[in-house]
Every structure is written in structure tokens, then in C-alpha cells.
């Protein structure tokens, strides 16, 4: 039963050709062994499509969107879904930043907090009764606006629309305030501008909401606009502070002219430029059902000017699920080895959606697919890939546009896992085949060459 019989050493012969063939056989075996070992250790990505069994009830939406022409005071984030969830002006995890003309964050506007309702004043007299002794508020048009604000040192302007309910409530207070200004002999011109009749003028002044109460000093608008209570006392107090600041400005200019030094203007006297751009960022926890979240212009104290509401925006970031910054280092290393075609986590990042016409806004439609990374179901990492389509939607003249992000979760999921190209028994079989085949082949070649060279010597 001895299958592996040996030839006695006395019957074998050591030759130079045999030594050379043995060396070649060893080198070839080593090369084939290393190649087979690398092939065994290398892995390949495989994908499987199956029914999504994710048991989570909610999904997280991370977003960072910059609106190029919408003030933070009017930004509202709302959520709707097919279960009937309707959450308006979400504030918990949403932050807003005022930006400058270059798109750089300039001022923190706080959380997306609920805007305080301004207080209005009730009057015993109607507006018609107040006008019996004369109209104290001057009506301006586009033809005389520039001349009036430049010829009057202080001008307090009310940009309104006749259909605006807040403007209608303000009219008696504004008339009473103008009458008080005359009684107190305050050097202020109180004016009205009807933005329906003077639409072109209001567009030049970038009036986004009604009423807009704006202070002009020396022909230049002083920002920000008035946002406090709409009562006579509050308006008078605001005007008084403006006049006091004007006196301080004159004193500062006199002091500067005497010293001749280029002294900085006191902070309280500076006219802070206010670009109507806003960056909105944060996250939302929504139900795992079809729905949408939309960012729109809304205010509890104003009627929005639909013609001037521009929802042009840049999507700095939009993703679903836990952000990458919160992943463990092991998970980050695993994801770094995944090719880009398997990582459609944030395809909208850096995309701009600009509306160059009135009454239009972009709507985005997102198809979300749960993606499971890893072979072990207990240690799988769940990420959300999505595809998006966007289109510009036309609105009616009286409807305020909104930037809408509609999402729908696919019932199917994708599993991405690494798999060895060969199993361990295939590796051993190939290894033995390579070694045995190499040994046998080299033995045949050695025997053939030995006979050829031996016959020549004879």
C-alpha cells in the first residue's frame, strides 16, 4: 500500500541541468503561489436588491440651503407627509444666518424661532374722521419720491398695499403718528407709498412685505427696517432715537473736523447694510413615508409681496440619515473604500437653482433608497442614497412661491457588501494544482532535455 515509493539515492544522479530545472521550478512555484494568494485575499463589491426591512420609524433630513434674495425674517420651514403630519415654522433644530452679497455668513439670526406678533393700536376715530382736519401723511409717487427724500433730511416711509390687512390696521396709527410729529415739531416727513400704483418704485426699493416702514436720512435708506410695535408711542420713540443719533453724528463730524484724524464712526451711528440673503441649516426628523418639506416666505406681521418673493437658492448640502461626521472611525474607513458609484448620498450639494422671472420657484423630487453596507446584518450600516429631479413651477400672481423638496422612500433596499473572489477550499485546491502541475511539467521538461543531451554525448 506504499503509493509514494522512493528511488534509492544510489540510483539517482545530480546534474547541472537538473539543478537549473529545480531552481526554475522553485521560482515559478513561488510566483504562482503569490499570485494565487493575492487573488484569494482580494475582495469584490457585490450588490443585492431586496425588500426593505428597516424597522426605523423616522428618518433624519440634513439640509443647508442659501436663499439669495430672501430675508431671514421671512424664512419658514414646514413639513407635510402622507400620514397627515403638518408642522409649520419648525424651530427646534433649524438655524438661520444673514449673508452678505458674496454669500458669506455675516450675522447669526438665531434659531428659526416663532416671530413675535407686533402690537397694533386701536383708535376711537376712523381714518376718515382723522382726515376731517386735513391729511397729515403725504402720498408719494415714483415721479417725486427721489426729490422728496433728498430734499428732506429725515423721511419715514410706509410702503403698503391696499389689500394688505396689516396695512389697513396701520393706516389710522400712521395718520395719528404724522399728526403727533407735526404737533411736536419734529423735523420728519411722514409719507405713504402705494405699491400697487407705484409698483416700479417698490421694486426698486426691494419691498418684499407689506407694510414696510423704512427710515431715510439724507436720501439714503437706513437699515434695518422698522420691526417693532405699530403704535403711536413706539413710532414716536423710534423717531426720537433717530433724531438723537443724528445730533450725535453731527457732534462726531465736528469733533472729527477739529482733530483732523480719521476716527471710526461710533457703532450706534453706523448704517448697517442689510442684504436680503439667508442661509438656513439644520435637520428634521420625519416619518418614513412620502412627504415634503418646503421653505417659504411667511410672516405673522406682514403680507408678503408675491411679485418680489424670489426663492432662488443654492443647496449647500442635502442628505438623509446620520451625517458622516457622527460615524465611527471604522465606518468612515469602510466607506472610504467604497467606489463613488455606490455613494449617491448627496448629489444635490453645490447645485444652484435660480429663478430669473417672477412667480416661479424650483420644486425638487427625491427618490430615496435605503442602502445597507456590510455582510453581517447585525453590524450593517444603513445609509440613504437618492436620485433627484428638479423643475421650475409657475405660481399664480397672488400665491407666494416656495422651494419644495418632495421625498419618497423606495420599498426596496440595496445591500452592498465585500466578498472574497475564492473560498478557502478553492484556494487550497488551486494551490495544490499549481504546485503539482509545476513539479510534473518541469519533470517532463527535465527528462526530455536529459535524454537529448545524453544521446549527443554518446
**Is 90 exceeded by the pLDDT of residue 57?**
no
Across the strands, what pairs with 198?
Answer: none
For 172, phi then psi, to 5°, come to -60, -40
How many whole angstroms separate alpha carbon 457 and alpha carbon 114?
106
Q: What is the mean pLDDT of residues 28-45?
A: 78
Q: Specify whether the CB–CB gap between 186 and 242 falls below 8 A.
A: no
Distances (CA, A) of 143 to 28, 158, 193, 197, 252: 95, 17, 12, 12, 35
Q: What is the pTM of this model?
A: 0.73
How much is the pLDDT for 458? 43
Residues whose CB is less than 8 angstroms from the CB of residue 353 and which lie 6 or more positions away in sequence, other chains included: 312, 313, 314, 315, 362, 364, 390, 392, 403
193-222 pLDDT, tens digit each? 999 999 999 989 989 899 999 999 988 998
How many whole angstroms separate alpha carbon 349 and alpha carbon 364?
13
- The fold of the 135-257 domain, in CATH, is Glutaredoxin (3.40.30)
Q: Per-domain residue ranges for the chain?
A: 9-42+424-457, 49-101+283-300+310-420, 135-257
319-362 pLDDT, tens digit each? 998 887 766 676 667 677 676 766 788 899 999 999 888 889 99
Sheet holding 220-226, edge to edge: 138-139, 189-194, 154-160, 212-217, 220-226
Burial code (b: 16+ CB inside 10 Å, e: under 16) for 407-438 equals: bebbeebbbbbeeeeeeeeebeebbeebeeeb
408-458 pLDDT, tens digit each? 999 888 887 777 656 777 778 888 888 888 878 887 887 787 777 765 554
Q: Specify whether the CB–CB gap between 45 and 78 falls below 8 A.
A: no
How much is the pLDDT for 447? 77
How many whole angstroms separate alpha carbon 373 and alpha carbon 380?
5
Amino acid at each position: 500500500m506504499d503509493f509514494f515509493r522512493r528511488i534509492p539515492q544510489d540510483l539517482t544522479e545530480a546534474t547541472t541541468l537538473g539543478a537549473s530545472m529545480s531552481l526554475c521550478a522553485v521560482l515559478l512555484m513561488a510566483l504562482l503561489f503569490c499570485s494565487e494568494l493575492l487573488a484569494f485575499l482580494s475582495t469584490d463589491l457585490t450588490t443585492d436588491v431586496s425588500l426593505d426591512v428597516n424597522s426605523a420609524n423616522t428618518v433624519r433630513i440634513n439640509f443647508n440651503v442659501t436663499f439669495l434674495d430672501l430675508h431671514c425674517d421671512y424664512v419658514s420651514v414646514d413639513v407635510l407627509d402622507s400620514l397627515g403630519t403638518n408642522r409649520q415654522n419648525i424651530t427646534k433644530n433649524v438655524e438661520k444666518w444673514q449673508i452678505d452679497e458674496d454669500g458669506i455668513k455675516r450675522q447669526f439670526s438665531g434659531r428659526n424661532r416663532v416671530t413675535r406678533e407686533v402690537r397694533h393700536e386701536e383708535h376711537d376715530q376712523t381714518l376718515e374722521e382723522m382726515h376731517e382736519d386735513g391729511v397729515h401723511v403725504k402720498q408719494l409717487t415714483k415721479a417725486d419720491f427721489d426729490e422728496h427724500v433728498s430734499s428732506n433730511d429725515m423721511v419715514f416711509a410706509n410702503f403698503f398695499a391696499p389689500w394688505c390687512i396689516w396695512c389697513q390696521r396701520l393706516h389710522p396709527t400712521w395718520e395719528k403718528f404724522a399728526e403727533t410729529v407735526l404737533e411736536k415739531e419734529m423735523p420728519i416727513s411722514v409719507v405713504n407709498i402705494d405699491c400697487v400704483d407705484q409698483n416700479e418704485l417698490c421694486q426698486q426699493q426691494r419691498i418684499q412685505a407689506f407694510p414696510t416702514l423704512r427710515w431715510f436720512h439724507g436720501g439714503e435708506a437706513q437699515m434695518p427696517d422698522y420691526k417693532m410695535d405699530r403704535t403711536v408711542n413706539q413710532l414716536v420713540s423710534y423717531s426720537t432715537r433717530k433724531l438723537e443719533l443724528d445730533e450725535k453724528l453731527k457732534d462726531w463730524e465736528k469733533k472729527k473736523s477739529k482733530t483732523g484724524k480719521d476716527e471710526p464712526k461710533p457703532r450706534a451711528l453706523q448704517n448697517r447694510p442689510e442684504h436680503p440673503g439667508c442661509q438656513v441649516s439644520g435637520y428634521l426628523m420625519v416619518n418614513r413615508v412620502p412627504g415634503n418639506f418646503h421653505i417659504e416666505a411667511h410672516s405673522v406681521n406682514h403680507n408678503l409681496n408675491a411679485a418680489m418673493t424670489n426663492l432662488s437658492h443654492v443647496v449647500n448640502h442635502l442628505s438623509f440619515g446620520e451625517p458622516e461626521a457622527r460615524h465611527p472611525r471604522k465606518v468612515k474607513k469602510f466607506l472610504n473604500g467604497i467606489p463613488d458609484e455606490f455613494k449617491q448620498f448627496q448629489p444635490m450639494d453645490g447645485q444652484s437653482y435660480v429663478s430669473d422671472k417672477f412667480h416661479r420657484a424650483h420644486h425638487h423630487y427625491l427618490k430615496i433608497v435605503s442602502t445597507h453596507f456590510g455582510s453581517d446584518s447585525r453590524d450593517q450600516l444603513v445609509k440613504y442614497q437618492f436620485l433627484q429631479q428638479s423643475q421650475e413651477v409657475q405660481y399664480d400672481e397672488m400665491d407666494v412661491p416656495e422651494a419644495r423638496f418632495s421625498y419618497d422612500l423606495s420599498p426596496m433596499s440595496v445591500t452592498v457588501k465585500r466578498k472574497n473572489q475564492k473560498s478557502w477550499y478553492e484556494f487550497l485546491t488551486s494551490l495544490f494544482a499549481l504546485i503539482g502541475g509545476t513539479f510534473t511539467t518541469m519533470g517532463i521538461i527535465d527528462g526530455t532535455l536529459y535524454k537529448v543531451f545524453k544521446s549527443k554525448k554518446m
